[in-house]
């Protein structure tokens, strides 16, 4: 072996893949004997440095594993590598200087880098006129980090990275690498042991499951144009959301999932025809197990690879916007799966998760809990939220499992949780994170929404963070969903004893800004389907569901319905199968679909049904206490100058004749909706489309209507003129 100024321990560390500062040993270096270059190329039989004038300067082996050294003249050079008969000429990776700027380093260290997706991960770029890919990953406790892939035979000795010690980020530029390259990171833990290969936490593209590699994406090309958001309070606008699982809304030939492009071709016209204002996708972030439906993601910056490249998903969002439809993504900052290629003990320590299992392990889902009290993890998750809102242009994030984030004792017994610094159960770090998230989104993405899936009575979920709230724009009303479904599941003969389940929601309806959900959670895990929950014979099942959906669409609060509910899907949802679209050959199912379409149009066109959804001035009970007849009646009121809407629900199979209800205006009232109409599959009972108010005082009004109420129906009437 040749003489060298490189210490023996450094040679052995490079040969064994243990050197934590490769740039100190590899690449060009000035020595007492002159300028030399060192390179670590396991498998190479000979290496030379090629000077700018084309002359070759052979390098000498320093170690049998592939470590070479030799003199090189001043100026630029390339490496001429003989791989046992196959010759390659390439730039020396270790001739390039640090890549992340001082501002990036400072912001990463402080945990305030709001464009972390552009800073970390893999990014094609030119450095000193040379095309390639810059890689950067946070792993402060690792002894060594290398990027590996087919381009270096997955050999962690070939491309160890430079540590920027100030912020714990490792970086490297690999020349001539391009879009589409599959890669992972190989790390040595603090004890020097090699960890299982890790996917890139900030990868923009991931391999389709079950493969677990990250893919170099054309990050500069992934930026969907955001939709122009109307000015004003979103609470005053109609919002009817169609919740979709991308892999099972509709399947292709051989039960294959549709690509993003194919899904757009079919889903966009359907959502527009049905009159929904938004589509909400169950998490599209890369996840290893399809059975989690995306709620156990590992790729918080990459769309699931099964449906196509990320630029196709960006285009799908744009296509929805071009059709006038908003896009909401479910987003999961509460927990992540334990898969070894993911975030779990990423650098050999509890980096993203809490070290103490009483704080860091989620017993319900066997997952790990993000340590959002750590500034870098907090920065990572806020960066993920901004990534979807800014680079993909989505209109809102629905934040999953907020309740589990708010309480340290969530789903834990006494002694299984750690109190906060004040001895209480509130998770102060997570509360602070959510408040920061809402402030950052409001500042950087005005008009974009945050929606909370929160099932407790935690106060101020939709109050501004500056006023002590969490800062969400809307909260799912889980209590309303459970109460009303509990009522509708009962045989009508017993509903009089559960009458309060339908009225209780109005007791707290304005304590938050609510969205009424009938979500995927109600049609899984043995819960059956919406139509399957309804009592009675087949006719009554459909009548019950029609009346219930109409009650929901006229009740204060924005609306969300999981796919399949609008066609009365009979079987329980299966994430591996398409919805049963053939059911629409049955007039009963087609009638329910038409009812939903008409409800969406009625909801959007009548200001009384949406403009004051979150304002108590928009609602007045007419009849709330007729438990014996299971009748509910209320007025929805809109802005000044708009017509009121009278909603009447008869939730037994008994037709009610001349049922008198007070109304605020005399004259004729038009029956603008009737869930018992024949076009929906009903018996066509009702009021013939029009009824005249009489000067008979009732319910504190001077005028009243005598109405025919078909059994198991919901009616909507508005004054003529």
The string of pLDDT tens digits covering residues 322-354 is: 999 999 999 999 999 999 999 999 999 999 999
b/e code 272-281 from CB counts within 10 Å (16+ = b): eebbbbbbbb
Least confident of 2-16, 148-162, 294-308, 534-548: 2-16
Q: Which residues pair with 173 in a beta bridge?
A: 134
Q: Domain spanning 8-95: which CATH class is it, in words?
A: mainly beta
Q: pLDDT confidence of 577, banded at 50, 70, 90?
A: very high
CATH 2.60.40.10 in the chain: give the residue spans: 8-95, 102-221
**pLDDT at residue 520 greater than cutoff 70:** yes
pLDDT for 105-138, tens place per residue?
999 999 999 999 999 999 999 999 999 999 999 9
610, 602 contact by CB (below 8 A): no
3-state secondary structure of 523: helix
Positive or negative: CA dihedral 654, 656, 662, 664: positive
Residue pair 301/287 in contact (Cβ under 8 Å)? The answer is: no
CATH of 616-719, one of 3.40.50.620, 2.60.40.1180, 3.40.50.150, 1.10.3720.10: 2.60.40.1180
Average pLDDT over residues 23-27: 95
Tokens standing for residue 84: 């046992």
What does the pLDDT average to over 222-231?
A: 85
Name the least confident of 32-36, 266-270, 399-403.
Answer: 32-36
pLDDT (mean) for 257-282: 98
175-200 mean pLDDT: 97
User: pLDDT tens digits, residue range 640-692?
Assistant: 999 999 999 999 999 999 999 999 999 999 999 999 999 999 999 999 999 99
Question: Residue 1: its pLDDT value, please?
Answer: 46
- State yes or no: is 453 an active-site residue: yes
Confidence of residue 278 (pLDDT cuts 50, 70, 90): very high
The string of pLDDT tens digits covering residues 440-478 is 999 999 999 999 999 999 999 999 999 999 999 999 999
pLDDT tops 80 at residue 290: yes
Average pLDDT over all residues of the chain: 96
- Give the pLDDT of residue 676: 98
Residues in Cβ contact with 40 at an 8 Å cutoff, skipping those fewer than 6 apart: 14, 15, 22, 26, 65, 66, 67, 68, 157, 158
Helices and strands, counts by H and E, the chain: 14, 37
Residue ranges, CATH 2.60.40.1180, the chain: 616-719
Run of H or E residues at 46: strand 46-51
Q: 2 pLDDT band (50/70/90 cuts)?
A: low
47 pairs with which residues across the strands? Answer: 81
Domain 102-221 in CATH: superfamily? Immunoglobulins (2.60.40.10)
Burial class (CB in 10 A: 0-12, 13-18, 19+), 624: middle
Q: Are strands 77-82 and 87-90 parallel, antiparallel or unpaired?
A: antiparallel
Annotated catalytic residue: which of 243, 436, 453, 522? Answer: 453
Q: Which of 400, 454, 473, 708 is catalytic?
A: 400
Whether the predicted pLDDT of 43 surpasses 80: yes
| pLDDT of 230 | 84
Q: Known catalytic residue: 69?
A: no
**Once rounded to an integer, what is the mean pLDDT over residues 182-208?**
97
Dihedral (CA of 238, 239, 240, 246) sign: positive
The pTM (predicted TM-score) of the whole model is: 0.96
């Amino acid at each position: 072996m040749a003489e060298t100024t490189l210490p023996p321990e450094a040679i052995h560390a490079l040969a064994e893949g243990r050197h934590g500062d490769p740039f100190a040993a590899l690449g060009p270096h000035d020595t007492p004997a002159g300028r030399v270059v060192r390179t670590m190329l396991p498998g190479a039989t000979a290496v030379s440095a090629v000077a700018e004038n084309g002359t070759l300067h052979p390098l000498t082996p320093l170690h049998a594993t592939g470590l070479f050294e030799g003199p090189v003249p001043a100026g630029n050079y390339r490496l001429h590598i003989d791989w046992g008969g196959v010759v390659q000429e390439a730039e020396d990776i270790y001739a390039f200087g640090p890549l992340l700027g001082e501002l990036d380093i400072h912001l990463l260290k402080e945990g305030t880098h709001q464009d972390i997706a552009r800073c970390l991960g893999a990014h094609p770029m030119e450095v000193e006129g040379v095309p390639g890919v810059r890689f950067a990953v946070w792993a402060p406790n690792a002894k060594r980090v290398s990027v590996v892939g087919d381009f270096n035979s997955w050999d962690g000795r070939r491309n160890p990275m430079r540590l920027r010690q100030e912020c714990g980020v490792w970086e490297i530029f690999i020349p001539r690498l391009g879009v589409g390259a599959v890669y992972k990171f190989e790390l040595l833990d603090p004890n020097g042991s090699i960890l299982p290969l890790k996917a890139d936490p900030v990868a923009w593209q991931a391999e389709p499951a079950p493969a677990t590699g990250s893919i170099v994406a054309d990050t500069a090309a992934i930026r969907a144009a955001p939709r122009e958001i109307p000015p004003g309070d979103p609470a005053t606008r109609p919002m009817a959301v169609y919740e979709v699982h991308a892999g099972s809304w509709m399947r292709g030939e051989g039960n294959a999932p549709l690509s993003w492009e194919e899904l757009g071709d079919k889903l966009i016209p359907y959502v527009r025809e049905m009159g929904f204002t938004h589509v909400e996708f169950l998490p599209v972030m890369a996840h290893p197990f399809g059975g989690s439906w995306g709620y156990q993601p590992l790729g918080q910056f990459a769309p699931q690879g099964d449906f196509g490249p990320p630029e196709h998903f960006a285009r799908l969002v744009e296509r929805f916007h071009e059709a006038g439809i908003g896009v909401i993504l479910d987003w999961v900052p509460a927990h992540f799966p334990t898969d070894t290629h993911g975030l779990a003990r990423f650098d050999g320590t509890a980096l993203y998760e809490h070290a103490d299992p009483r704080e860091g392990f989620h017993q319900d889902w066997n997952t790990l809990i993000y340590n959002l009290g750590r500034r870098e993890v907090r920065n990572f998750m806020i960066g993920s939220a901004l990534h979807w809102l800014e680079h993909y242009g989505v209109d809102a994030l629905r934040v999953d499992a907020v309740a589990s984030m708010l309480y340290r004792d969530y789903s834990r017994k006494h002694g299984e949780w750690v109190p906060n610094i004040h001895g209480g159960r509130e998770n102060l770090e997570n509360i602070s994170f959510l408040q920061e998230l809402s402030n950052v989104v409001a500042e950087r993405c005005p008009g974009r929404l945050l929606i909370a899936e929160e099932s407790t009575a935690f106060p101020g979920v939709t109050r501004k963070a500056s006023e002590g709230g969490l800062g969400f724009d809307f909260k799912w009303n889980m209590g309303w969903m459970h109460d009303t479904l509990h009522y509708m599941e009962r045989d009508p003969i017993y509903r009089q004893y559960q009458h309060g389940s339908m009225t209780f929601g109005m007791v707290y309806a304005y304590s938050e800004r609510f969205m009424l959900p009938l979500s995927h959670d109600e049609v899984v895990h043995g819960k059956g389907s919406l139509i399957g929950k309804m009592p009675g014979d087949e006719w009554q099942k459909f009548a019950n569901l029609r009346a219930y959906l109409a009650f929901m669409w006229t009740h204060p609060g924005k609306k969300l319905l999981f796919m399949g509910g609008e066609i009365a899907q009979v079987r329980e949802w299966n994430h591996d199968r398409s919805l049963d679209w053939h059911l629409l050959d049955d007039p009963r199912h087609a009638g329910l679909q038409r009812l939903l379409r008409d409800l969406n149009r009625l909801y959007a066109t009548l200001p009384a049904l949406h403009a004051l959804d979150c304002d108590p001035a928009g609602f007045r009970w007419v009849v709330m206490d007729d438990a014996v007849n299971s009748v509910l009646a209320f007025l929805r009121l809109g802005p000044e100058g708009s017509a009121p809407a009278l909603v009447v629900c008869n939730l037994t199979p008994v037709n009610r004749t001349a049922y008198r209800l007070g109304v605020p205006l005399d004259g004729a009232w038009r029956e603008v909706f009737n869930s018992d109409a024949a076009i929906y599959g009903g018996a066509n009972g009702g009021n013939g489309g029009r009824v005249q108010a009489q000067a008979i005082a009732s319910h504190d009004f001077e005028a009243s209507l005598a109405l025919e109420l078909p059994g198991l129906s919901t009616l909507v009437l508005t004054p003529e003129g």
